[in-house]
Structure 1
């Protein structure tokens, strides 16, 4: 339509030019410059102007069409390139998910050869190298990605993971601190910084991060869980101060842990050890006895027994056991513990009379069988002693460990405030003896797990 309109306009202009030329036949003097001039008839001048205008219009429309063609060509090339890059990326990701690592690396490297600044490819390829334990290459790729997009939190988290897996913990913490510069209350960054400090026994630093985490706007459920972690960290900080001899600070942290959780046994035990370190043995005994009354946990009984024997007051320990049995006279663990104390005090008849009532008790530690065999020997009944030992040897399951984690079922030979396998605090408990079967909670204990790579938390005052 535009073309016909343009042709019609051109014809009308020519007709008008001829018509006005007949009316104005005289030539016109046209000056081309100050010194140059020429005579031109009006018809020729008008036709020349029309021709010049038409040529300008043709050039204008032609250039526009050429520009559109060039832009379309560039867009097509760009789209084809993006499709090729996307194809390489999709193939690399799918190969990575299928554990075809070599193919995944090849596809992503082809992508980066075409587009060295592709953030997604740098991230994915770095993650693959980290998974394959090529930490230096993973770090190099993620550092390049960070240089291209410094505020990208996903890049910073990936870089921190590379450094952490490479055991470059301080650099990992710095990468996570960079996350906090962009998001000061980011819980993921705080969690990971805290866990790195815990892994390296930096309890004071972990405690400081935990304080920040509790102010990070967590949900009520998360806050309750993190308060439990805070309790454990306060205990660990107190334990470190105790080992260094800074008793005032140790006391403060133990008390704060107990305030957060009245049933937190490690802090109560640590507080008693602190009193012993100060030479306040009576106060330590009173503290542990009150803790036993409040919690009913047999851990305190063994410590009380050792302490009262050291004080030369076994009668106090006998009193505690007898009071406890008066409240729960069917508790086999109390009877076994009192019988063992009788045996330690050379009260042979009392030990024999009490432990004889535990016939058929499945003691996971094997202590009952050993003591009964010794008692029979002391009484001159070697045959019965041999029968007891034979019974122990014929057990379907060998004697095990006296403690098990109530969270992950890790079995331990000594009590500690924190499970070496799962890292939780206040979860190691006595495997209780029972009649006619395996001890409790040994029935619920699965195959022993290997300790977690975090170091243990045993301290001089913790072993039973």
Structure 2
């Protein structure tokens, strides 16, 4: 027998002995009557026993009620657990159906869940996804509007509603919604601001997009990486172009100057700023801007702009003088000499152009157009052997004499046959790029990439 049991028995015996001792010592007192009210009296011993029994019955009744309550709660909890497991299983099934490209079947499963639990957030989100994948955008919008109203604290419904509105070709309503989301939730509005900026960009509302970008930068500077931060420069540039289209050249020029102050490598700003200056009859300043841009970036597009401007203006001699000066002084001499040679070629000053092209040839590894110009010059001078040599070098640069194989699934080109495409992972999809007039069009081979079976 355990020690605790022995102690309990001893305690009970002690209590009984104590009660017996008290009873035996107070027999006379316990035998007396106590008057409760008129004509009603009771013995002291009976009163004590009655009080004990009453307390015992009340305690037993209370305990029974509590145990019954716990039993009922246990049954309800068990039922809720079973229902929760069943709903969880249905949601898992719906997710699997969506991931396998069966939104219609997923919709049926989710409808059964929502009939039982109309306020189920996860089921509502999945239902919206299923409706969008089915292309039923109006139904998705209506569904998400109801969910957003029923769950104002769940911001995910707002974002999905914006996506559904865009899919339903109502970007204006989506923009209004995202503005409200960003205003109501300023501390967690990063996603809303990004979506809103994209909407404005897609619609060509560059000033609005730039304003949103500035708000995003001011609130979430730590979350914005370098490429996204640089997007502000591009938006500024687009705003400048809208000023150019409105013939507001002075305002546009100020914007382009600000861009170059912040980023001296932004070539489109040099090109547009130079054009703005020329359109304001400031030719010298415009040409200097293009030249400064080339000195800073080495980008040939700026010299192409100089070349085109002088030829279109009917002042080729001035253009040649400018390009000669640049070629003689620039850090990017190879590029400058090539564009000088190209302008000489356009002006039929072939021998001087050939000399420059030969200088450039020693510095470049790949430039098909260079060998084309040299071949044309030799051909015009009757030097057919030299011309053929340059054409051969041109073909080698282009690599068109190599065999080519192409993946019929993704279009990836390879110099050799491969049994499996490295780009898309499809087997038996490589074919030789060769067509005969008598053969029908090549049919695409079935896709065998790793994602097949997941859709």
Q: How does 1:323-402 map to 2 (within 5 A)?
A: 323-327=325-329, 332-355=334-357, 364=367, 366=369, 368-369=371-372, 372-373=375-376, 376-377=379-380, 379=381, 397=399
2:211 maps to what in 1? 208
**Contact in 2 for aligned 1:352/1:372 (Cα 8 Å):** no
What's the CA shift for 1:95?
Answer: 4.1
1:305 aligns with 2:307: yes
Alpha-carbon distance between aligned partners in 1 of 2:290 and 2:333, rounded to the nearest angstrom: 20
Q: How does 1:45-444 map to 2 (within 5 A)?
A: 63-97=65-99, 99=101, 101-185=103-187, 186-219=189-222, 222=224, 224-327=226-329, 332-355=334-357, 364=367, 366=369, 368-369=371-372, 372-373=375-376, 376-377=379-380, 379=381, 397=399
2:5 maps to what in 1? none
**Contact in 1 for aligned 2:103/2:133 (Cα 8 Å):** no
Aligned residues: 381
Structure number with the higher helix fraction is: 2
DSSP-derived class of the 1:150 partner: coil
DSSP-derived class of the 1:215 partner: helix
Q: Aligned Cα RMSD in Å? A: 4.2
Relative CO higher for 1 or 2, CA cutoff 8 Å, sep ≥ 6?
A: 1
Alpha-carbon distance between aligned partners in 1 of 2:141 and 2:76, rounded to the nearest angstrom: 36
Closer/same/farther in 2, CA of residues 106 and 233 from structure 1, 3 Å limit: same
Deviations 1:76-133 (A, max 9, x none): 3233222322222233334444555455434333221210110111012212333444
What's the CA shift for 1:342?
Answer: 1.5
* Greater shift in the superposed pair: 62-71 or 185-194: 62-71
TM-score scaled by length of structure 1: 0.67
DSSP-derived class of the 1:262 partner: coil
Closer/same/farther in 2, CA of residues 155 and 225 from structure 1, 3 Å limit: same
Alpha-carbon distance between aligned partners in 1 of 2:309 and 2:296, rounded to the nearest angstrom: 19
Alpha-carbon distance between aligned partners in 1 of 2:162 and 2:29, rounded to the nearest angstrom: 86
DSSP-derived class of the 2:186 partner: coil
**Contact in 2 for aligned 1:335/1:355 (Cα 8 Å):** yes
DSSP-derived class of the 2:218 partner: coil
* Greater shift in the superposed pair: 358-367 or 348-357: 358-367
Closer/same/farther in 2, CA of residues 19 and 69 from structure 1, 3 Å limit: farther
Closer/same/farther in 2, CA of residues 83 and 164 from structure 1, 3 Å limit: same
